[in-house]
Structure 1
């Protein structure tokens, strides 16, 4: 069992999301940065899509009552085990009474904690991903208790660390494909869309990231069509919105671009005021 001593700014349990329910308006949900979550899981021997703890901007403080192993990847959050500094991308042994604390953000935006065997939490529609109006709880709160699945501790090292390419976290270039309405833009608009440096507004969440800069929009609204995480919508006001994991399943704004999976991972590690640009995939 793990007790939440401090929940952090916005912490949730997430796996790789819900599939097969979008026709009913159910969001995909799931971890924002799949690469970081999968890597953390691999370090403790879990399947890559096992549920993890996703922490945003400010991490949680957790007390363990069982022997287990943990690993965390993604953003750096000044992590300490029993007040001793520890680093990302390693497998670490935990014993009863240990306190794991994630502090202030150093870089990145979201950190992923995996535990050996995974979290034994509520499953709804074949997923443990927390989501408002879908699961009983939409986020972790102080004094919550998290059960974990029993798993063998054999062949687990006390501490091992693996080199991991984190360059995508700080990359500002997002790989994109053309969206269904991209061709409705003029040639000049298409070129501008792929050359502007946009900045992230304070309106960003697991549902979507709105960008600050205005972009001329003379396109007509579309008949409601499907959208998925990574869809870039052009709103009537000229603002661009990049849909993320908890986004709706349909929309009526022109879909001008679509982020690659790598780009979604990268964008999920960005926060208010940071700059990005779209680079068309070859």
Structure 2
């Protein structure tokens, strides 16, 4: 087991999401950055659906109650074991009683802690992903106990490596497709979406990212229609809202763009004040 000594800013258990229940209004949820989470699981030899701990900006402090192996990927939040810095994207053995903690945020925004075999917390609708109203807990709390498998022996693959895409954390470009209501925009509005830069506002979380700069909008609201992670909505006030993993399943704002899956991953590593630019996927081939 793993005991939560401190929670950090916002730490949750996530896997690849809750699929097949959107008709009932249940969000997908799942890890915000599937790329980084998959790196951690692959390096440990876990199944791709294994649940990981998603850590946002400020990390928790955890005490391990058994020997196991871990891997930390994604943002660099200065992870430490017993106050000694450890490397990202590398399988590491931990012993019973070891404490992992996190320090300063160096780059990125969300880190992922994988354990051998994955976390074994509450499973609802075939997913371990925490979400308020679906699971009993929507985030970690102090003194929580997280169940994990106790391996028969140390499986840490000490020489396992993987090349990390640096641009995943540095690029400002977000590749998108045209949304269902894109053609209703004027030529000037369409050009503005791709020619001007945008800034992530302080209103950013697992449900949606809002952008600071408005886009002139004279479109009529649409009949409530389906939305999904990566849908870019345009509000009557001209606010652009990018839906993320915990988004609702329907919405009434025009859907002007749709992020590629890789773009959702990239955006999840950005936070307040970071610049982004939309880039048409058809122009990136």
TMscore range, shorter length: over 0.9
Q: Distance in 1 between matches of 2:20 and 2:228?
A: 13
Q: Distance in 1 between matches of 2:59 and 2:278?
A: 30
Deviation of residue 173 (structure 1)? Answer: 0.1
Partner of 1:178: 178
Deviation of residue 59 (structure 1)? Answer: 0.6
Partner of 2:75: 75
What is the correspondence of 1:131-170 to structure 2 with a 5 Å cutoff?
131-153=131-153, 155-158=155-158, 161-170=161-170
User: Contact conserved, 2:69 with 2:154, CA < 8 A, in 1?
Assistant: no
Partner of 1:214: 214
- Please, which moves more after superposition, 156-165 or 246-255? 156-165
Partner of 1:197: 197
Unaligned runs of 5+ in 1: none
Classify the secondary structure of the residue corresponding to 2:30: coil
Partner of 2:6: 6
Classify the secondary structure of the residue corresponding to 1:241: strand
- Per-residue CA deviation, residues 121-144 of structure 1 (Å, 9 max, x unaligned), is 100011000001111000001111
Partner of 2:246: 246
Deviation of residue 155 (structure 1)? Answer: 4.7
Decide whether aligned partners of structure 1 residues 256 and 152 sit closer, same or farther in structure 2, where only a CA change above 3 A counts: farther
Q: How many residues align?
A: 282
- Per-residue CA deviation, residues 150-206 of structure 1 (Å, 9 max, x unaligned), is 444355335754432232122110000000000001111111111111000001100
User: Contact conserved, 1:61 with 1:102, CA < 8 A, in 2?
Assistant: yes
Deviation of residue 280 (structure 1)? Answer: 0.3
Aligned alpha-carbon RMSD (Å): 1.2
Q: Distance in 2 between matches of 1:163 and 1:43?
A: 11
Partner of 2:63: 63
Q: Distance in 2 between matches of 1:178 and 1:204?
A: 22
Deviation of residue 261 (structure 1)? Answer: 0.5
Partner of 2:125: 125
Partner of 1:88: 88
Deviation of residue 29 (structure 1)? Answer: 0.2
What is the correspondence of 1:20-35 to structure 2 with a 5 Å cutoff?
20-35=20-35
Partner of 1:115: 115
- Per-residue CA deviation, residues 219-249 of structure 1 (Å, 9 max, x unaligned), is 0000000000000000001000000000000
User: Contact conserved, 1:207 with 1:244, CA < 8 A, in 2?
Assistant: yes
Normalised by the size of structure 1, how large is the TM-score? Answer: 0.97
Decide whether aligned partners of structure 1 residues 12 and 74 sit closer, same or farther in structure 2, where only a CA change above 3 A counts: same
Deviation of residue 49 (structure 1)? Answer: 2.1
Partner of 2:43: 43
User: Contact conserved, 2:93 with 2:154, CA < 8 A, in 1?
Assistant: no
Normalised by the size of structure 2, how large is the TM-score? Answer: 0.96
Partner of 1:269: 269
Deviation of residue 209 (structure 1)? Answer: 0.2
Unaligned runs of 5+ in 2: none
Runs of 4+ in 1 over 6 A off after TM superposition: none
